Amino acid sequence: MQGRNLNLAVGAFVLLGLLALLFMALQVSNLSTLSNGSTYELKAYFDNIGGLKARAAVRSAGVVVGRVRQIQFDDQQYQALVILDMDSRYQFPKDTSAKILTSGLLGDNYVGLEPGGDPEMLKSTDRIRMTQSAVVLENLISQFLYGKATEPSSGGAPANSGRKSP
């Protein structure tokens, strides 16, 4: 009888552990729902989205106000079209700007919104006009290295040391 109780306790403990792992996996992968309320759609074009993925967070002032629904390539403008599902509780002015940012140094990418001052608000299917693409770490490193390679060397003797050449 005591062995059966021990088996039930171990089984319950393992089940709770699996449920906790499932909960953490859903939180990390952004598969949890945004809210039970309604959403509206916004569109934004970016030259480079970096590592942005569908279901990534849309944040304003650090608060999640939406999710990336879909990412497409627009072959007319040659830009990435990012479709955002915004929580209808949060309205933004027409002159809001969008940036692709990174959580920490090597964290996930997300869309950051900075509200403007326009009294008119964005409506469903409106486009965010002011966007800033992702900063890609590899591009920054290559620009830095290329810039260093093209600079003249500062080592060695000066070109004119005041001595006459023979």
Per-residue pLDDT, 165: 46
Sequential pLDDT tens for the chain (166 residues): 788 888 888 898 999 999 988 887 776 665 554 555 799 999 999 999 989 999 999 999 999 999 999 999 999 999 999 999 999 999 999 999 999 998 877 788 999 999 999 999 999 999 999 999 988 777 788 888 887 667 766 555 554 545 454 5
d(CA 102, CA 141): 17
Q: Which residues are within 8 A (CB) of 110 and not within 5 positions of it... i.e. 6 or more apart?
A: 52, 56, 57, 58, 59, 100, 101, 102, 103
Q: Please report, for the chain, the start and end positions of each structural domain, with discontinuous segments joined by +.
A: 1-32, 35-143
Per-residue pLDDT, 146: 81
**What's at 158, amino acid-wise?**
P
